[in-house]
């Protein structure tokens, strides 16, 4: 039986690399995207050329909570079940304190915490059947919040707590873990070279990570960690040691 995975926000960047790794490990994939239809289609075509009918696409705004159950149901219907849910999609932008709007709050909490929570809840019956697992992509900012990103940071802190809470509730059938990246891919809206240099100088490994570093950690937790649950694996070149 071919195993299957649903990866959210997976058309580009880290999510796309997670899809590539899981696919190379033999998984059938539902690649969820929101706005990046062209990238999603290109990646699906590329991987379907490697293994026919192994990647399907589903589009959704994850802020529409009522659509999440359907997203999971369709994934399971495509592949006859679900083995892995990877909550990767995320909004990320600064929210300087004093001027934060409820729209920003709902957007950042929605994509980084509420959607992962309700996707997990919808996925549980399918995951239980397959002794599957949930992987939440968090951030080292959950424990070491940076200035001007309070809403994003607290959403990721919630995601880390959710990982531990659901690990307790869903054991022994379902494992729940996460990965907390450090500086991997720079945000596309942030081009300040001085800020990047300052961040890199504080990383013991003296460089940014690569999307593949996160994808490898995900694959480890999915396929090679049967006795690991409730953990957030930090992949940050040692940066959080000094935060
Ligand atoms: N990049 C880093 O160095 C870094 C560092 C620490 C943590 N992380 C975490 O690692 C994960 C991946 O990072 P990344 O930089 O690759 O992410 P990203 O490019 O910022 O976002 C990933 C995807 O999330 C989707 N998304 C955002 N809001 C959504 C919504 N309301 N509904 C549905 N999809 C939505 C977008 O999909 P569409 O493009 O299809 O609209 C986007 O492509 C995230 O959870 C991030 O917080 C990344």
What CATH number is associated with residue 64? Answer: 3.40.50.720
Over residues 128-187, the pLDDT tens digits come to 999 999 999 999 999 999 999 999 999 999 999 999 999 999 999 999 999 999 999 998
How far apart are alpha carbons 5 and 132 in whole angstroms? 10
How far apart are alpha carbons 235 and 79 in whole angstroms? 31
pLDDT at 28: 98
Q: Are the beta carbons of 23 and 29 closer than 8 angstroms?
A: yes
Residue 116 is classified by DSSP as H
Question: What does the longest C-alpha to C-alpha distance in the chain come to?
Answer: 53
Tell me: cis bond preceding 172? Omega within 30 of 0 counts.
Answer: yes
- Residue 87: CB atoms within 10 A of its CB come to 28
Q: Catalytic residue numbers?
A: 152
pLDDT at 147: 93
Relative to the CA of 181, which ligand 1 atom is closest? 6
SS3 236: coil
How far apart are alpha carbons 235 and 162 in whole angstroms? 19
State whether the beta carbon of 208 lies less than 6 angstroms from ligand 1.
no
Per the structure, how many domains does the chain have?
1
Relative to the CA of 12, which ligand 1 atom is closest? 43
pLDDT at 231: 99
pLDDT at 176: 99
Q: Which residues contact 42 (CB under 8 A, 6 or more apart)?
A: none
Q: What φ, ψ does residue 23 adopt, rounded to 5°?
A: -65, -45
The CA angle 4-175-173, to the nearest 5 degrees, is 85
Is the pTM higher than 0.75? yes
C-alpha 37 to ligand 1 mean position (Å):
14
Tell me which residue has its CA closest to atom 7 in ligand 1.
139
C-alpha 1 to ligand 1 mean position (Å):
30
State which of 6, 7, 18, 34 you would mutate to test the pocket of ligand 1, scoring each by most atoms of that ligand within 8 A of its C-beta.
Answer: 34
Question: Could you say which residues of the chain have pLDDT below 70?
Answer: 243
pLDDT at 243: 67
Q: How far is CA 79 from CA 30, 72, 165, 208, in A?
A: 9, 11, 28, 36
State which of 92, 105, 213, 233 you would mutate to test the pocket of ligand 1, scoring each by most atoms of that ligand within 8 A of its C-beta.
Answer: 92
Q: Are the beta carbons of 215 and 137 closer than 8 angstroms?
A: no
């Amino acid at each position: 039986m071919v195993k299957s995975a649903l990866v959210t926000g997976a058309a580009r960047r880290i999510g796309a690399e997670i899809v590539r790794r899981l696919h190379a490990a033999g998984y059938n994939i539902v690649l969820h995207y929101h706005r990046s239809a062209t990238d999603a289609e290109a990646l699906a075509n590329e991987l379907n050329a490697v293994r026919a009918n192994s990647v399907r696409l589903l589009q959704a705004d994850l802020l529409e909570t009522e659509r999440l159950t359907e997203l999971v149901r369709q994934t399971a219907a495509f592949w006859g079940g679900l083995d892995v849910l990877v909550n990767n999609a995320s909004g990320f932008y600064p929210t300087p304190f004093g001027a934060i709007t409820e729209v920003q709050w709902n957007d950042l909490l929605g994509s980084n915490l509420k959607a992962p929570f309700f996707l997990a809840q919808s996925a549980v019956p399918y995951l239980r059947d397959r002794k599957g697992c949930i992987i939440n992509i968090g951030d080292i900012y959950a424990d070491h919040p940076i200035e001007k990103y309070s809403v994003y940071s607290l959403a990721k802190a919630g995601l880390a707590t959710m990982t531990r809470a659901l690990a307790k509730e869903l054991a022994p059938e379902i494992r729940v873990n996460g990965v907390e990246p450090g500086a991997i891919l720079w945000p596309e809206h942030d081009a300040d070279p001085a800020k990047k240099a300052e961040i890199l100088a504080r990383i013991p490994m003296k460089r940014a990570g690569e999307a593949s570093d996160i994808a490898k950690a995900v694959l480890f937790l999915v396929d090679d960690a049967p006795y690991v649950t409730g953990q957030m694996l930090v992949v940050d070149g040692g940066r959080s040691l000094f935060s």
